[in-house]
Amino acid sequence: SPASLAGKVVWITGASSGIGEFTAYELAKAGCRLVLSARRKEELERVKSQCLVSGKVKDDDVLVLPLDMLKTDTHAAAVETVLQHFSKIDILFSNAGRSHRGMFESTSLDVDREMFELTVFGNMSLIKATLPSMKERKEGHIFVMSSAAGKLGAPASSPYTGAKHALQGYCDCLRMELIQYNIDVSVVCPGPVHSNLLQYSFTEKSGEFYGKAWSKDENRMTTSRCAELIGIMMANKLGEGWISPQPILALM
Ligand code: NDP
């Protein structure tokens, strides 16, 4: 259970809202030490306060570390800050992301690029910066947020789906490369979750199309349920898991 993660240092990106925020609460309850990253510092402070109220953590156990995943030249310094504070990183939960809804032809190449910059290169940059300390300790866990869209295509989501597929491909290679260093790589693929992501991702044109589809969807998970399942996956070091309102289906 996630309780077995007590004392672990877990760095969560995208911790200022949604799934990342609720995973912080779940892991704080389990007694993990946390690094909370995203761009909005005040939201990270809010999440930290809540962790202190509801979790088994003290002030020093939760480090707020603002970070822009797109500013890859700041990632090495961010890793240094974490190592200075906690001296190790047990788990990197690379979760930050955003969505875009729009038909392929009406989506500009700039939007396609931006999605890849964040989802693929942002994540790869932070993982590359984090790995040396894990390799040195011969211990670590890279836990990456993909999506059901990392496995399946759907209309009006080509940049998001394409970028998540690419992310999965990188992780599948990385997992094999890192076995020799005792570093695990997990990829989590949730179905739709109630968070800001879908709400703010609609373009004017496709919003109507998706708005109707989503509003009928009774199968969306709450962010807290999703976070609970992520905690179970982390504790059990599952290589890959689809998570949905039904229990985890572990593929590996
Ligand atoms: P939210 O919009 O609530 O959370 C997104 C998080 O990412 C925020 O904390 C945001 O913080 C952060 N973020 C966005 N851009 C950047 C950036 N450039 N640098 C640093 N942080 C950034 O959505 P979710 O919780 O739903 O999304 C979290 C992850 O879950 C995403 O990777 C998403 O693809 C994935 N996912 C979501 C599903 C869903 O249905 N909601 C389903 C499957 C996967 P800030 O703005 O403060 O920087």
67 neighbors 121 (Cβ within 8 angstroms): no
Q: Tens digit of pLDDT per residue, the chain (252 long)? A: 789 999 999 999 999 999 999 999 999 999 999 999 999 999 999 999 999 999 999 999 999 999 999 999 999 999 999 999 999 999 999 999 998 888 999 999 999 999 999 999 999 999 999 999 999 999 999 999 999 999 989 888 999 999 999 999 999 999 999 999 999 999 999 988 887 776 544 444 444 444 444 444 456 788 888 999 999 999 999 988 887 754 444 332
Q: Which residues surround ligand 1 with Cβ inside 6 Å?
A: 13-20, 38-40, 43, 67-70, 95-98, 118, 145, 147, 190, 192-193, 195-198
Strands 249-250 and 62-64: unpaired
Catalytic positions: 160
DSSP annotation of 120: I
Nearest one of 113, 75, 81 to 94, comparing CA atoms: 75
* Beta-bridge partners for 33: 9
Nearest CA to ligand 1 atom 8: 14
pTM of the model: 0.93
What structural domains does the chain harbor? 2-250 (3.40.50.720)
